[in-house]
Chain A
Amino acid sequence: MLVCLSGALATWTGGRKPVVGWIAFATVVVSSLLVMAGVGSVLMFGPGEPVTCLEVPSLGFALRLHVDGLSAVFLALIATVAIPAALYSIEYMQHHLEHGKGRYYPDFLMFITAMYGLVSTTDMMWFFFIFWQMMTLAGYTLIRFDPMNPGRLRAAKKFMIMMQIACAVSMIGAQLLVNASGPSSIPPMFRYDFGNISGHLPMLLLKHPGTVATALALFFVGFGIKMGMWPFGQIWLPDAHPAAPSPVSAMLSGVMIKTGVYGLMRCFLWLVPAKACVDYPVHYWGVVVMLLGTITLFTGTVQALRQDLSKRLLAFSTIGQGGYILFGLGVCMTLIGSTDCAVSALGVAAFYGALFHTLNHGVFKSLLFLNAGSVLHATATQDLNKLGGLMRYMPVTAVTALIASFSIAGVPLFSGFASKWGLFTAAIQGNSACRLLPLCAMVAIITSAITLALFIKFFGVMFLSRTSAIVAERTHKHRRLEVGWKMRVPQVVLAFVCVVFGLLPVLPISLIHRAMEGSRHGFGELIASTPPLPSGGWAGLGSMNQEFIYVPVFLAFVLVAMFLVTRRVAKLGGSQRRSAKPWLCGYAREADMHRYRARGFYAELKRYVNWMGGAPRPQTEPVPVSDGK
């Protein structure tokens, strides 16, 4: 496994305090490429044996790394997002010179290393603890890094406390399982090994089902805190993500949250060995997870609707999208335990949807945070009320933000739609196994309309609308607002991934399938042996009996054809184009006072959802008085 090597490499340079960001970038690229190579070899040749890197028998622990299919998927995601984020950091962090970069890059690298470690370790106690702490401490310093942000200290503390609780809770869960399984012949340093715990479970499920349930509940809470599940997510996530510098927010929101998803998938689907599945009440756990997922996705998104700070809005929507992933996992668990072959196949389809949405969310949410970062970099504000008309000045950022917004809002032909489509079809068809499923799916569909409203506001108010006073002033001062190429390239790359995943969903789906074939443990066996949504004609998705089908390439072809037709029709009359100022009853000069601000959007609707909570602004920041004066 090359992963150990790359992880070590990243840590090593991380400790060395690189003078410039380029070294950090090069480190990230090298380590990511090595990780990618490792992932590639897992995909091609199947997983290798667990590697024991570091053994300290006297203290009773050993570092055992093992990359199987599931880890490979998450490693690939981390590596894909880490490279653009590192490149983006170089220019973005320049105006933080006064605080010295030495404090930023080592932490950044450490953070990435910790995540690589966390998804590939098999040890559920000590190394889980060490990697988790590495990630938390690095995250803590990164969140409190930005000196211009007044709320950062409080946010960082909250992050720290919640992560420690999560860590403690998960470790208690692991300890419970190990204690209950009694003495064993395995050397103590492998006592907390994943395989070992898993091996004892069938016996435990029979003898102490209560203990196992408690342990699973503890894991659920621990990883739920990490991935921002309701009600824990609302405590730390919306403060921590906006406080960090933007590339870090992208990593936090796009990738770090996903380690929670990884933990949940591991515990609920992979931990229990296949032969003990009969005693494992996966159906009921699934219903619980699904209901919590539904609550999370609805509350997170509705609260996001009330925000008018760009990065805070994105943070709340991260909770909402995390809810979709949780919902997908819940649907999968509800259906997968069924003895009916068709129903469990639907469960597998939901699993693919959830994992695909995890990848998609990682890509488009980090892109959105980078977009918000570019705007923050260019205009020095993240207050949506003060922004407007940036599309003319920042075309690249605007177009990439549009692609990301379309993806997250589930517009057909973009990546978010493909994964949500998988979730919805599986949930609605699984009606026979659980009567609640269509209702929850409907809540998810309503929420996706709210997500659309959210991102129409996010994109429209920043990039369209009318040029605001602050933007006009900045353009006057700086001549050009668009960020430099080091910040543009990462955005373009991520946007490209969104489009490719949207048009050819077969690509990631078959990759995931490939990975799952190398991850046969517990329900992984079932997932690996059930073919995913096989491709319909023209590289689309569909079920075996064609009861549900989605062929984006065909659709794109029709849409483009229609687009050309309408364009031709518009030119038939040979009319002349002329540009003019919008009409404002003759008060065009006072335009800035008459701008329709972000606060005004959906006012009537927001009034009805006030009780859902989610204060529009953190308390630490003073509410500005009316800026018209």
Chain B
Amino acid sequence: MKTLLSILGGVANVVIVLLLAPFFQGVLRKITALIQSRQGPPLLQPYFDLLKLLGKEDIESGESPLMQRFAVYLSLASVLTVACLVPMGFAAPMNAAGDVILLIYLLTLCGICTLLAGLAAGSTYSLLGISREMMTMIALEPLFAVAIVVGAVHTQSFRLDTVLNGSVYASTAFPWSGVIMCGVMLLSFQAFVQRVPFDISEAETEIMEGPLMEYSGPKLALFKYAQMAKLVIYSALFVTLFVPWGTGLMFPLGWLVFWAKVSGLVLLVTLVAATHARYRIDQAIRYFAALLAVALVALVLASYGY
């Protein structure tokens, strides 16, 4: 029964993410257009884009097309697997498969697939892009890990449902570490979902989408899909970690509150993205290093019970 429930929950999460991700992207594009005084595409445009790309010609430019295919399929697959681990309005479906440490490393797996795909494509621009992407990942993965570990230290547990439930505020004293980490994560959130001002690895205007440059047709569709899904999943993670209020409500209400919070976060991402200019990679590294230093201070505070 438990197994059946967890499978059902996982499938439900995957389906919700797949259905909602292009919609959020549509909202994002529409609002960006409004801010920039343009008409903007219709809200459903991303769905049509994806469908159209699936039927387009698939050009493989690399030395090892098998690797390209493998990386592309795995990138969306790993994002969807993460979707099974994150609670979205209900308890985390695959609680029995792993803990938060696994979650940290699975999130990097999505990034690794993009890196492999970029390397396999063999274009100079792709390599430039993946070098930048990797440097960003080195800084970002620990930031997220600190946030999770702060929660784990407070609750003395690594279970997904315990930690991903506002655990960063679960200390006995005033949760300084949780508040600091909330700020740090907010300041770096654009980078997690790869939007301006931290979309340095793709940077359409300088290195032409970097790792994705050589991809077309269904492969591009899958990449874009994975990216949209990432926006939803990271927003969900942020909400479960830092904005836990209202999740315990009755079924339709709690669920609605959860998705309202996620939408709010997406709106915030859009506003920041539409009003900022991109950073250079060295500026970004310095920025992340400063955030990481603050995060480590938060971790020390957490281990002393604050």
- Chain A residues close to B by CB (< 8 Å): 389, 391-392, 398, 409-412, 417, 421, 424-425, 428-429, 431, 435, 437-439, 441-442, 445-446, 449-450, 452-453, 456-457, 460-461, 463-467, 536-537, 540, 546-551, 554-555, 558-559, 562-563, 565-567, 569-584, 594-596, 600-605, 607-608
Contacts and interface: CB of A to CB of B under 8 A. Distances in A.
Contact of A596 (B56, B58, B128, B217): B128
B63 interface: yes
Nearest to B284: A604
Contact of A601 (B60, B61, B105, B131): B131
Which of B51, B62, B146 has the most chain A CB within a 10 Å cutoff? Answer: B62
B96 interface: yes
B123 A583 contact: yes
Contact of A460 (B115, B289, B292): B115
Contacts of A463: 64
Given A391-B67, A549-B96, A425 B101 contact: yes
Contact of B127 (A421, A445, A465, A567): A465
B214 interface: yes
Interface string B120-148: 11111011101100110110011001100
Given A555-B102, A570-B218, A438 B153 contact: yes
Which of B60, B67, B222 has the most chain A CB within a 10 Å cutoff? Answer: B67
20 contacts: A410-B105, A412-B106, A425-B99, A428-B158, A431-B303, A464-B120, A547-B157, A547-B158, A548-B99, A549-B99, A551-B97, A562-B81, A570-B72, A573-B55, A575-B217, A577-B59, A582-B122, A600-B131, A601-B134, A604-B285
B145 A608 contact: no
Contact of A573 (B54, B78, B108, B124): B54
B142 A449 contact: yes
Contacts of A540: 97
A558 B81 contact: yes
Contacts of A572: 54, 218
Contacts of A571: 218
Which of B67, B119, B126, B222 has the most chain A CB within a 10 Å cutoff? Answer: B119
B54 A583 contact: no
Contact of B101 (A392, A548, A567, A583): A548
B141 A449 contact: yes
- Chain B: interface size category: 35 or more
A593 to B, nearest CB: 10
Interface of B: 10, 14, 51, 53-65, 67, 72-74, 76-78, 80-81, 84, 94, 96-99, 101-102, 104-106, 108-109, 112, 115-116, 119-124, 126-128, 130-131, 134-135, 137-138, 141-142, 145-146, 149, 152-153, 156-159, 213-214, 217-219, 221-222, 281-282, 285, 289, 292, 296, 299-300, 302-304
Given A442-B296, A549-B159, A596 B141 contact: no
Contacts of A559: 77-78, 81
A442 B300 CA distance: 10
A85 to B, nearest CB: 28
B96 A548 contact: no
Contacts of B94: 554, 558
A562 B77 contact: yes
Given A429-B158, A466-B122, A566-B222, 17 more contacts: A412-B98, A412-B106, A424-B101, A547-B158, A547-B159, A550-B99, A555-B97, A573-B54, A573-B218, A576-B57, A576-B58, A577-B57, A577-B59, A582-B123, A595-B124, A601-B131, A602-B131
B121 A582 contact: yes
B7 to A, nearest CB: 9
B303 A439 contact: yes
Given A439-B296, A563-B77, A573-B55, A392 B218 contact: no
Given A411-B112, A570-B73, A442 B60 contact: no
Contacts of A547: 99, 156-159
Contact of A558 (B55, B64, B84): B84
A537 B96 CA distance: 8
Contacts of A398: 64
Given A449-B142, A452-B112, A577 B58 contact: yes
Given A549-B98, A579-B59, A581-B61, A605 B135 contact: yes
A411 B74 CA distance: 13
A464 B59 contact: no
A410 B104 CA distance: 11
A548 B158 contact: yes
B91 to A, nearest CB: 14
A449 B138 contact: yes
Contacts of A600: 127, 131
Contacts of A563: 73-74, 77
A550 B115 contact: no
B109 A435 contact: no
Given A437-B303, A555-B98, A456 B59 contact: no
B97 A442 contact: no
Contacts of B80: 562, 565-566
Given A442-B146, A453-B135, A453-B137, A464 B159 contact: no
A549 B64 CA distance: 36
A584 B59 CA distance: 15
Contacts of B157: 547-548
B149 A428 contact: yes
Contacts of B131: 596, 600-603
Contacts of A577: 57-60, 65
A437 B55 CA distance: 53
B99 A465 contact: no
B121 A438 contact: no
B281 A604 contact: yes
B135 A391 contact: no
B84 A464 contact: no
Contacts of B289: 608
Given A548-B101, A549-B96, A412 B109 contact: yes
Which of A412, A571, A600 has the most chain B CB within a 10 Å cutoff? Answer: A412
B279 to A, nearest CB: 12
A425 B112 contact: no
Contacts of B299: 438-439, 442
B285 A594 contact: no
Contacts of B57: 575-578
Nearest to A594: B124
B119 A465 contact: yes
Contacts of A456: 112, 115-116, 119, 130, 134
B87 to A, nearest CB: 16
A410 B107 CA distance: 12
Given A431-B153, A464-B116, A575-B55, A551 B300 contact: no
B77 A446 contact: no
B101 A421 contact: yes
B101 A439 contact: no
Nearest to A411: B109
Contact of A389 (B63, B81, B124, B145): B63
B64 A392 contact: yes
5 closest Cβ contacts across the A-B interface?
A573-B54, A573-B55, A596-B127, A460-B119, A562-B77
Contact of A453 (B98, B126, B138, B222): B138
A445 B142 contact: yes
B230 to A, nearest CB: 14
Contacts of A583: 61, 123, 213-214
B304 A389 contact: no
Contact of B219 (A429, A546, A570): A570
